[in-house]
Amino acid sequence: MISHGWLLLPAALIGILLLAIGMFVLGGVEQNYCAGFRYFSFADQKATADGYTLQLLNGNRPVMVTGIMAGSVADSSPLVSQGNIQPGDAFIIRAKPLAVAPGQPFSSTLVRIDYDIINGESGRTDSALCAGRVV
C-alpha cells in the first residue's frame, strides 16, 4: 500500500474532474446547460410553462437574431432584448414554450438560433444540445 499509494492521487483527481464536467450527478442535482454553440456562448436558460428564455453572449461580429427552434417548437419571431447585437454583448431571447410539461426535465434538446450578420451573411445558424427542467 505504501509503495503504490501515490496512485490514489491521480485516480482521485480524475474522479473530481469527471464530477466537475457533469459526468456524475450527486444528490439529484440537475444540470442546466447548453453545449455545442460555435458562434454564441451560453450564459443561462429558463424554461417555464409560459416560454423559453435563453441568455447568450454574441461572437465577434454584430448580428440580428431572426428565429429560434427549441426541440420541436419553432419561433420565427422571438422577443430579443436588442435588435443589433454588438460583438461580446449579452442578450436574451424569449421564445414559445418547449413541448415539455411543467415540472418535467428536458435533456438533449436541440436548440437552433437563426441569425444574420449585420452588413454580411444572412441565414446563418448556430445550435447546441440543452438540458434543464421546466419550472
pTM, two decimals, is 0.76
Nearest to 53 by CA among 117, 8, 19, 96: 96
Residue 98 has a pLDDT of 93
CATH number where 83 lies: 2.60.40
pLDDT tens sequence across 36-93: 999 999 999 999 999 999 999 999 999 999 999 999 999 999 999 999 999 999 999 9
19 in a structural domain: no
Cα gap 1→17, rounded to integer Å: 24
Cell numbers at residue 86, please?
454588438
Q: Which domain holds residue 51?
A: 30-133
In sequence order, the 6+-apart residues with CB closer than 8 A to the CB of 60 are: 87, 88
Domains: count for the chain: 1
Domain annotation covers residue 65: yes
